[in-house]
């Protein structure tokens, strides 16, 4: 038993609406090249840039709105330092991972005011 043509037509419109809505309303776009961005249940963004060959923060300029990022995984990149103001707009961040970078210089205050942060992985080279 297949749906009548009228019903099929309505189903088609519903489907089309969903696809368009997802495209336009994706809060986690644009996603940086070589990263994966997912939306969680709270409409916040989980950004996975593991092994994305990122070597500086300007490469992250295309991140989705910083205030929507709840997790940022930068594991196994080539980031040498984290500028002081980098996370100033990351007001919802709960998990940050820099493990497997070659961070040489970290100022004390870079993670200051990240009150929401629950998990932080950083490996700092002692030079
Ligand atoms: C993050 O991306 C890497 C590389 O694409 C993948 O191996 C890993 O499973 C991803 N992690 C999560 C939590 O999705
Ligand atoms: C933080 O957000 C403000 C307002 O949108 C913007 O002007 C500023 O450049 C942002 N700072 C950083 C470091 O992203
Ligand atoms: C480390 O960062 C501080 C503050 O940004 C800067 O003054 C200093 O020159 C940096 N040191 C190295 C070795 O890059």
If you measure from the C-alpha of residue 66 to the centroid of ligand 2, how many angstroms do you get, rounded to a whole number? 9
- CA distances for 88 relative to 3, 14, 100, 114, angstroms: 53, 40, 23, 8
Which CATH architecture best describes the domain 5-121?
Alpha-Beta Horseshoe (3.80)
Q: Is the CB of 89 under 6 A from ligand 2?
A: yes
Residue ranges per domain, the chain?
5-121
SS3 96: strand
Of the listed ligands, the closest to the CA of 87 is: 2
The closest alpha carbon to 66, from 34, 33, 105, 32, belongs to 32
CA–CA separation, 51 and 113 (whole Å): 27
What is the reported pTM?
0.77
Q: How confident is the model at residue 35 (pLDDT cuts 50, 70, 90)?
A: very high
User: Tens digits of per-residue pLDDT, 73-85?
Assistant: 999 999 988 888 8
% of the chain exceeding 90 in pLDDT: 36
User: Tens digits of per-residue pLDDT, 8-18?
Assistant: 655 555 555 55
Across the range 80-101, mean pLDDT stands at 90
Q: Is the CB of 85 under 6 A from ligand 2?
A: yes
Residue nearest to atom 14 of ligand 3 (CA): 105
CA–CA separation, 81 and 115 (whole Å): 21
């Amino acid at each position: 038993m297949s749906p009548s043509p009228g019903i099929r037509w309505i189903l088609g419109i519903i489907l089309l609406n969903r696809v368009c809505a997802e495209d336009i309303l994706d809060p986690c776009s644009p996603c940086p090249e070589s990263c994966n961005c997912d939306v969680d249940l709270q409409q916040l963004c989980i950004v996975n840039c593991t092994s994305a060959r990122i070597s500086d923060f300007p490469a992250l300029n295309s991140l989705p709105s910083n205030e929507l990022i709840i997790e940022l995984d930068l594991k196994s990149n080539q980031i040498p330092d984290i500028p002081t103001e980098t996370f100033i707009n990351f007001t919802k961040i709960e998990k940050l991972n820099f493990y497997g970078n070659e961070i040489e210089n970290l100022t004390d205050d870079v993670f200051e005011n990240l009150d929401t942060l629950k998990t932080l992985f950083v490996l700092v080279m002692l030079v």
